[in-house]
């Protein structure tokens, strides 16, 4: 099966270009993804146990281009099994109670980023104005990047360090990391951390997400689910 990100992280053309750059990057002795983000660690491929990749962000997408955030027109829709559907502007979202945390991010393919500083909104605070119905036990996160989607149960989304994040490491979430908002749930592998979220639909049943349709566990607990 494909693995989350590794084979489809860029449009095909970029992927080929990156592959070529990856080969030539041996010459400068730096991993090629450093060109795309700020995270760095010395590359020690030769010392790594099989299946483990050097730490640092890889930017993953499933579509040919990344959604572009326009603060003037952007809305976050909250709908489905709720009493009061919401359509939040970016400013309205930022006025909700702010939560901050430092947590480690794990991709199922074997790379991690330690001590990421996130700021955002806890799902309980985000959903409160919509008043979810009693049978609304699942959140479905729809990305502006089609067709990426994934779900969390309400219980999972209410873990103490799950949030809808709008800042990373002290700055507004960068476009490549999902601007303006992404899911953060450190207990689960990266594929549950949907980027470019534009709609949250409250539902009564778990649906399988983009990578789950391709064989990965719906409950993507770090260290306790399939992968590799």
Ligand X SMILES: Nc1nc2c(c(=O)[nH]1)N[C@H]1C(S)=C(S)[C@@H](COP(=O)(O)O)O[C@H]1N2
Where does this chain bind ligand X (CB under 6 A)?
4-5, 57-62, 107, 143, 145, 148, 177, 190-191, 193-196
- Residue 158 beta carbon to ligand X: minimum distance, rounded to whole angstroms: 20
User: In the set 190, 195, 197, 216, which binds Mo ion (CB under 5 A)?
Assistant: 190
- Residue 131 beta carbon to ligand X: minimum distance, rounded to whole angstroms: 27
Q: Which of ligand X, Mo ion, none interacts with 151 (beta carbon under 5 to 8 A by kind)?
A: none
Contacts for 13 with CB less than 8 Å, ≥ 6 apart? none
- Residue 211 beta carbon to Mo ion: minimum distance, rounded to whole angstroms: 8
The residue at minimum Cβ distance from ligand X is 190
- Provide the token pair at 153: 């149960």
Q: Which of ligand X, Mo ion, none interacts with 119 (beta carbon under 5 to 8 A by kind)?
A: none
Count of residues in the chain: 228
Whole-angstrom distance, CA of residue 167 vs CA of residue 221:
24
**Are the CB atoms for 40 and 32 separated by under 8 Å?**
no
Number of chain positions touching Mo ion (CB under 5 A): 5
Question: Binding marks (x or -) toward Mo ion, 97..136, rule CB under 5 A?
Answer: ----------x-----------------------------
For the chain, strand residue ranges (E) read 76-80, 86-88, 99-106, 112-121, 138-143, 149-153, 163-168, 171-172, 182-184, 197-203
Strand partners, 138: 153, 203
Footprint of Mo ion (CB under 5 A): 4-5, 107, 190-191
């Amino acid at each position: 099966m494909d693995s989350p990100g590794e084979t489809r992280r860029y449009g095909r053309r970029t992927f080929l270009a990156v592959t070529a750059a990856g080969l030539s990057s041996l010459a400068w002795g730096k991993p090629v993804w450093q060109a795309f983000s700020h995270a760095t660690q010395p590359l020690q491929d030769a010392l790594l146990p099989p299946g483990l990749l050097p730490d640092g962000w890889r930017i993953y997408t499933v579509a040919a281009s990344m959604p572009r955030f326009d603060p003037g027109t952007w809305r976050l829709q909250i709908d489905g099994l709720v009493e009061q559907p919401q359509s939040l502007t970016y400013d309205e979202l930022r006025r909700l109670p702010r939560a901050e945390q430092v947590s480690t991010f794990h991709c199922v393919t074997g790379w991690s980023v330690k001590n990421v500083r996130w700021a955002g909104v806890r799902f309980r605070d985000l959903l409160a104005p919509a008043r979810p119905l009693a049978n609304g036990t699942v959140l479905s996160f729809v990305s502006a990047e089609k067709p990426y989607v994934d779900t969390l149960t309400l219980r999972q989304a209410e873990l103490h360090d799950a949030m809808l994040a709008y800042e990373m490491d002290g700055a507004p979430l960068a476009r490549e990391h999902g601007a303006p908002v992404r899911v953060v749930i450190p207990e689960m592998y990266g594929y549950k951390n949907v980027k470019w979220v534009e709609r949250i639909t409250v539902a009564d049943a778990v649906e399988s997400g983009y990578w789950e349709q391709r064989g990965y566990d719906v409950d993507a607990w770090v260290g306790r689910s399939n992968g590799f």
